[in-house]
Amino acid sequence: MTESVAHLSREEKQRLLQKIDEQEVRNCTQCTLCQSRTQTVFGEGNPDADLMFVGEGPGRDEDLQGRPFVGPSGALLDKMIVAMGFDRQQIYIANVVKCRPPQNRTPASSEVKACGDYLLRQIAIIKPKVIVTLGGPAAKLLLETQTGITALRGTWHQFHGLGSKRPPIDLMPTFHPAYLLRSYTQDNRRKVWADLQAVIERLKK
């Protein structure tokens, strides 16, 4: 991690994030996903957010627009955000990988490894109070675990990736909106809503 990020203003955080996006991510060729992308999708939202969502990687709509969660999964995520009492301007949204995996496949571990440092640096700058990971890859990367999302979700975990000198960040894993759309059962919806309600309570502290 190169940036010194103690007590940064919102403007300074924005400037640092923009620098990583413009000088590193947009022209990144660290893995082969760069060959099939239309453009990179860095992430967006409030650089000083208390709440950060981390998804898997851009899909078709995101690859075309250069923005995270703007397709069908994004529409559901927007509803979740509003139901929590927020809007997109108040929170930050990023992904594990910044380029679309072909056919929306799960990113390979080599791709996550090549790209994951960008996400860690985004988190180090934003320093949210709570991270919500959406789906398996984000939880696995940030919790350094191989445990599946069904076992991880619904309980609080801690993100220790900022190093031993910085406090860990509370992390709630939940199902990915794309999974929810595929399996739109009352049970799954209840589970995700319970996870998000726990997040609302934690943010009040």
Q: Residues interacting with ligand URA, by CB under 6 A?
A: 55-59, 62, 68-69, 73-74, 95, 178
- Residue closest to 51 by CA, chosen among 136, 134, 108, 143: 134
Report the nearest approach of ligand URA to the CB of residue 125 (Å).
19
Report the nearest approach of ligand URA to the CB of residue 189 (Å).
18
Residue closer to ligand URA by CB (options 32, 65) is: 65
Report the nearest approach of ligand URA to the CB of residue 35 (Å).
19
**Residues, the chain:** 205
Distance CA 35, CA 121 (A): 24
Report the nearest approach of ligand URA to the CB of residue 96 (Å).
8
Residue closer to ligand URA by CB (options 20, 73) is: 73
Q: Which residue is nearest to ligand URA (CB)?
A: 55
Report the nearest approach of ligand URA to the CB of residue 90 (Å).
18
Residue closer to ligand URA by CB (options 96, 124) is: 96
How many C-alpha atoms does 139 have within 13 Å on its Cβ side?
A: 23
DSSP-assigned letters across all residues of 139-167: HHHHHT----HHHHTTS-EEE-TT-TTS-
Residue closer to ligand URA by CB (options 1, 72) is: 72
Residue closer to ligand URA by CB (options 74, 116) is: 74
